[in-house]
Amino acid sequence: MVIKLKYLIPVFFFIIEFYPQSEDISQKRSELSSIKTEINNLEKELASKSVAEKKSFEAVENLNKQNYLINKVLGQLRTEINRKENEIKIVERKIKQTESEIKILQDNYATYVKAIYKKGQYNELESLFDASSLQQAVMRTYYLQVFANQRKKDLTKLEDKISELDESKALLKKERNEKLLLAMARDDEKKVLTQKLNERKTALNSIKKNNKELKKVIVAKKEAQKKTEQLIAQLIEREAAANKDLFVSRDKTSGEKNKIKDENVGYDYDLNTTSFASFAELKGKMIWPLHKGKVIRKFGENKNKSLNTVTLNYGVDIKADKDKNVRSVGEGVVAAIDWLPGYGNVIIISHKNNYRTVYSHVSEIFVSEGDKVKSGSVLASVDESIDGYILHFEIWKGRDKQNPELWLAKN
């Protein structure tokens, strides 16, 4: 069964509608339009397949790619929801401040009105007759005028603040409504993702005992390992270039460094100069990316007896227990989120000391590129493969692959 995009298509237009009117709005619209087109093309391609073809490795990869694209939409929605939450907090703070200012103005004006009620209006003529000298009369008249003018200003300011408060409350209502709509769109996308994962599960079950299709999986994983290596190399080059140009000028008066962000890197700071904990010190005591996970394929060569093949594993394959949450093993930054045939969704975290960790075979992703993460931060849910819920996990020091089992704490 092919799932129709009855949720997905309206959401694209919804997201575009609520994007802030900034310089990059055209780029965001173009990106979302491209995602929509790509998903539609994948849908049509899968729908055109025969029943047998829908139970193939290619069908699984088609659905994997669709899941990756839906995750991109979910990432956009998360970003928008976070932006709305920040805007709501700003408006709420403004309302609180305005209400405080109104209270002060009201109290001041109330004090003035009470004084007038008790003593009556003290006009300029009275001040002249009551004065002991002409100079005192002039001074009294001056200060009374200043006092009266200030009261008029306070009254005008009070009226303006009340109007400002009404506008802020209207804006708050609007922002909350937009956040609610975004949350509803996000929930719809999650339903689509769940449907796609169920459809993919059916296709996976069909190829589990098909040696011809399983060999395709192995070939795809080999290619994925090469592409992962290329991704790591690209990140090293980009991050090195960004760090080199990160502080390019100094303010002549203050001596402060001015940051310049490389568009190819999702963050604007040098990992080696941040307050992140040393990654190298985690060796032998690192938390597991899957709680109570079990290594089923080790680092290095692995032999598949049923297919009589030998594969080289750049990391380890960890089978999930009850907890399906994939966690970051250390502090760092989400450097890349990608999709690779054979590996599915891939998340790469850059850490201090030129280390990177790779998390492959994940389904729903909860982070975006550029996010800072702590040790134990949930990145995604582990995806289902032909062997069950398996996470492929790698550790890299520069361009050198590390054996994760030497790093992970003993279970």
Structure token pair of residue 106: 């009201």
**Which stretch, 47-51, 142-146, 245-249, 396-400, has highest mean pLDDT?**
396-400
Residue 361 has pLDDT above 90, yes or no: yes
Nearest Cα neighbor of 82 from 335, 366, 362, 347 is: 366
Residue 228 has pLDDT above 50, yes or no: yes
Q: What's the number of domains the chain is made of?
A: 2
Give me the phi and psi of 309, to 5 degrees please: -130, 155
Question: Is there a domain that residue 224 lies in?
Answer: no
Same domain? 6 vs 105: yes
Same domain? 9 vs 155: yes
In sequence order, the β-bridge partners of residue 381 are 325
Same domain? 186 vs 41: yes
Spatial separation of the C-alpha atoms in residues 320 and 287, rounded to whole Å? 14
Number of DSSP helices (H) and strands (E) in the chain, helices first: 6, 15
Nearest Cα neighbor of 63 from 78, 53, 77 is: 53
Give me the phi and psi of 349, to 5 degrees please: -105, 130
Question: Is there a domain that residue 269 lies in?
Answer: no
Question: Is there a domain that residue 367 lies in?
Answer: yes
Question: Is there a domain that residue 254 lies in?
Answer: no
What integer pLDDT is reported at residue 349 of this predicted model? Answer: 95
What integer pLDDT is reported at residue 207 of this predicted model? Answer: 85
What integer pLDDT is reported at residue 309 of this predicted model? Answer: 67
- Please give the single-letter amino acid code of residue 145: Q
Structure token pair of residue 395: 């550790």
Q: What's the mean pLDDT when you consider all of the chain?
A: 80
What integer pLDDT is reported at residue 253 of this predicted model? Answer: 44
Local confidence band at 259 (pLDDT 50, 70, 90 cut-offs)? very low
Question: Is there a domain that residue 141 lies in?
Answer: yes
Local confidence band at 113 (pLDDT 50, 70, 90 cut-offs)? low
Residue 20 has pLDDT above 60, yes or no: no
High-pLDDT (> 90) share of the chain, %: 35
Higher pLDDT, 329 or 384: 329
Residue 269 has pLDDT above 50, yes or no: yes
Alpha carbon 10 to its chain centroid, in Å, reads: 22
pLDDT, average across residues 73-100: 90
Computed over its alpha carbons, how large is the radius of gyration of the chain? 31
What integer pLDDT is reported at residue 190 of this predicted model? Answer: 87
Nearest Cα neighbor of 245 from 265, 231, 229 is: 265
pLDDT, average across residues 53-61: 88
Local confidence band at 88 (pLDDT 50, 70, 90 cut-offs)? very high
Same domain? 74 vs 156: yes
Local confidence band at 134 (pLDDT 50, 70, 90 cut-offs)? low
pLDDT, average across residues 46-70: 89
pLDDT, average across residues 64-68: 92
Residue 252 has pLDDT above 50, yes or no: no
Same domain? 403 vs 308: yes
Local confidence band at 49 (pLDDT 50, 70, 90 cut-offs)? confident
pLDDT, average across residues 14-34: 64
Local confidence band at 338 (pLDDT 50, 70, 90 cut-offs)? very high
* CATH number of the domain enclosing 325: 2.70.70.10
Same domain? 59 vs 194: yes
Residue 29 lies in domain = 1-207
Last residue of a domain, one of 173, 207, 241: 207
Question: Is there a domain that residue 89 lies in?
Answer: yes
Same domain? 283 vs 400: yes
Question: Is there a domain that residue 6 lies in?
Answer: yes
Sign of CA dihedral 314, 319, 324, 325: negative
Last residue of a domain, one of 174, 207, 240: 207
Same domain? 172 vs 304: no
Spatial separation of the C-alpha atoms in residues 11 and 66, rounded to whole Å? 15
What integer pLDDT is reported at residue 1 of this predicted model? Answer: 38
Same domain? 112 vs 197: yes
Interacting residues of 78 by C-beta distance below 8 A, sequence separation 6+: 186, 366, 368
Question: Which of 251-265, 320-334, 342-356 comes out lowest in average pLDDT?
Answer: 251-265
Last residue of a domain, one of 149, 181, 207: 207
Residue 347 has pLDDT above 70, yes or no: yes
Question: Is there a domain that residue 229 lies in?
Answer: no
In sequence order, the β-bridge partners of residue 8 are none
Residue 350 has pLDDT above 90, yes or no: yes
Same domain? 11 vs 152: yes
Same domain? 147 vs 49: yes
Structure token pair of residue 57: 């490795």
